[in-house]
Amino acid sequence: MPRGDKSSYTAKQRRQARHIEEGYERRGVPRAEAERRAWATENAMSGGGRKSGSGRGRKTNKGPAKKGGRKGGRASARRSKSARSASARKAAATRKRRAGRSSTRKRSSASRARKSSGRSRSRRS
C-alpha cells in the first residue's frame, strides 16, 4: 500500500476528514494544507486506518477535534496583537473582580446558615 493511500480508512473516517478539511478552508487555509491538517487530525483521533480483525477496535480520541476551536479562527487572526492583548487584560480584570465578589457571597450565606442553626438550638434548650 503506497504512502497516502486512503483505502484502509472507513467511510466514517473519510467523511470526518472531509468535514474537518471544509472547516479549515472556511477559515482561509489553502486547500492542500487543509487536506493535510484534516488527515493529521483524523489520524490523531482514530489512530489511522482501521485494521480488520476482532479485538482491534479503539476508542476515538476527540481531543484533537476540540483543539481547533480553542486555537482561534479568522476573527482572532484579523485583530492586531494590541487589540487581543487589551481583550485579555480586560477579561483578567473581570475574572479578578468577580472572584472577589463571589467568595464574599459564599461566605456570607454560609455564615448566615450557621447563625440561624445556632439560634434555633439555643431557643430549644
Express each pLDDT in 16-65 by its tens digit.
Answer: 999 999 998 998 899 999 999 999 999 888 888 876 777 777 788 888 87
> Mean pLDDT score of the chain, rounded to an integer?
79
In a domain, 69, yes or no: no
In a domain, 109, yes or no: yes
In a domain, 57, yes or no: no
SS3 of residue 48 by DSSP? coil
Amino acid symbol at 31? R
In a domain, 68, yes or no: no
Amino acid symbol at 74? R
pLDDT band for position 96 (cuts 50, 70, 90): very high
In a domain, 46, yes or no: yes
pLDDT (0 to 100) of residue 8: 84
pLDDT (0 to 100) of residue 61: 85
* Structural domain total, the chain: 2
- Domain limits at 123? 86-125
SS3 of residue 68 by DSSP? helix
Amino acid symbol at 91? A
Over residues 85-95, mean pLDDT? 93
In a domain, 16, yes or no: yes
pLDDT (0 to 100) of residue 16: 92
In a domain, 2, yes or no: no
In a domain, 76, yes or no: no
pLDDT band for position 122 (cuts 50, 70, 90): low
